[in-house]
Structure 1
Amino acid sequence: MRALIGAFLLALLAGCAGQGREAAPPRTVGAVDLERYQGTWYELARLPMFFQRDCAQSEAHYSLQADGSVGVLNRCRTLEGEWKEARGNAVPQVAGRTDRLWVRFDNWITRLLPDRIKGDYWVLYLDDGYRTALVGNPNRKYLWLLSRTPVVSEKTRQRLLETAEAQGYDTDRLIWRVADSAIAAP
């Protein structure tokens, strides 16, 4: 009986030792040339999230502003062929560090709580040509696989998946971009 109780207590202590210990945040790329990063990015895949629940195809348009911030226009196309959009602004979380940004969208809740409602936009991977990127957040709840084109080669897709997995993201839960042929004509 003592051995059984001892084993139970050891198991309980081992379980408690892991409690509260969080994984280190994912690594970011270190620096992003925001001038090169601006332009259109197509979402190849994403982890599920509430505000994109109706999106079959998404794209983001970034434009560098005179004050150094980045203007954001996110567009989402539904299966019915309707476009929805959200406008916002991104700024570095730390001055001079361009791979970790705060993004705020212009909506009623951000106008109500302007300094409290913002999202992490961490650039986790960016190829040398600024053609593909992985964007996520520190707790790995959000992830986007992005490209300058709506479709990429299988080799590029695999590289993005392997990079995301190496960063601790659950790629089995990704929602992939729907083909144009599956979208209803408006």
Structure 2
Amino acid sequence: MTSHPELATVASVDIERYMGTWYEIARLPMRHEPEDATDVTATYSLKDDGKVEVRNRMRRRGEIEEAIGEATALDDSASRLEVSFLPEGLRWIPFTKGDYWIIGLEPDYSVALVGSPDRKYLWLLARTPRIEPTTRARYLALARAQGFDLSPLIETPQSA
């Protein structure tokens, strides 16, 4: 197992500005998101209790699939969150939450880079279905500098 220094996150996130729909530009493979998934989006909305509703959508074999979960900020910076997609009554079970750490964010909240501290998961997200190649390259360089292996990176097709 490779040991890495702690994953550096952005200093702080204005959680209200982060809300809304994000298009997945690229990702590292994960079992909950098949390689043939397209049109992947994540829509975040702030709940009355301060937690965040997470609504992930993808197209697979022509069908839309959706998963609804909940994210909780781990500290006041709001750059480190835990996400669970278990039914509400089971979210208390230990080891069922995923790490969602914001490690890069454009000042205008148009692009975000999110990863897990074990470097297994990574998402490049944007407010639009496509981003400039130079922006993409800059964020992927940030991921590499933080110890992410990008050789299995999946480019997410967006038909929008």
TM normalised by structure 1 equals 0.79
C-alpha RMSD over aligned residues: 1.8
Q: 2:64 aligns with which of 79, 83, 102?
A: 83
Q: CA deviation at 1:90?
A: 0.6
2:159 is equivalent to residue 177 of structure 1: no
2:134 is equivalent to residue 152 of structure 1: no
In structure 2, what residue type is equivalent to 1:154? P
Query: C-alpha separation between the residues in 2 aligned to 1:120 and 1:66?
Result: 22
Contact map agreement 2:111 2:125 (CA 8 A) in 1: yes
In structure 2, what residue type is equivalent to 1:40? T
- The range that moved more, 169-178 or 27-36, is 169-178
Per the alignment, in what secondary structure is the counterpart of residue 66 of structure 1? coil
- The range that moved more, 20-29 or 132-141, is 20-29
2:41 is equivalent to residue 63 of structure 1: no
Q: CA deviation at 1:97?
A: 3.0
Aligned to 2:120: 141
Query: C-alpha separation between the residues in 2 aligned to 1:66 and 1:170?
Result: 38
The number of equivalent residue pairs is 158
Q: CA deviation at 1:113?
A: 6.2
Contact map agreement 2:84 2:91 (CA 8 A) in 1: no
Per the alignment, in what secondary structure is the counterpart of residue 58 of structure 2? strand
Query: C-alpha separation between the residues in 1 aligned to 2:5 and 2:78?
Result: 20
The superposition leaves residues 131-163 of structure 1 with CA deviations (integer Å, 9 ceiling, x where unpaired) of: 001000111000000000111111111111111
The structure, 1 or 2, with the larger RCO (C-alpha pairs under 8 Å, 6+ apart) is 2
Q: 1:115 aligns with which of 81, 86, 93?
A: 93
Evaluate the alpha carbon distance shift between residue 87 and residue 102 of structure 1 in structure 2; reply closer, same or farther with a 3 A threshold.
same
In structure 2, what residue type is equivalent to 1:23? H
Aligned to 1:13: none
Contact map agreement 1:86 1:106 (CA 8 A) in 2: no
Query: C-alpha separation between the residues in 1 aligned to 2:139 and 2:2?
Result: 27
Structure richer in helix, relative to its length = 1
Query: C-alpha separation between the residues in 1 aligned to 2:38 and 2:154?
Result: 9
Structure 2 unaligned regions, length at least 5: none
Q: 1:42 aligns with which of 19, 23, 28?
A: 23
Runs of 4+ in 1 over 2 A off after TM superposition: 110-115
Contact map agreement 2:119 2:148 (CA 8 A) in 1: yes
TM normalised by structure 2 equals 0.91
Query: C-alpha separation between the residues in 1 aligned to 2:124 and 2:2?
Result: 28
Q: CA deviation at 1:167?
A: 1.1
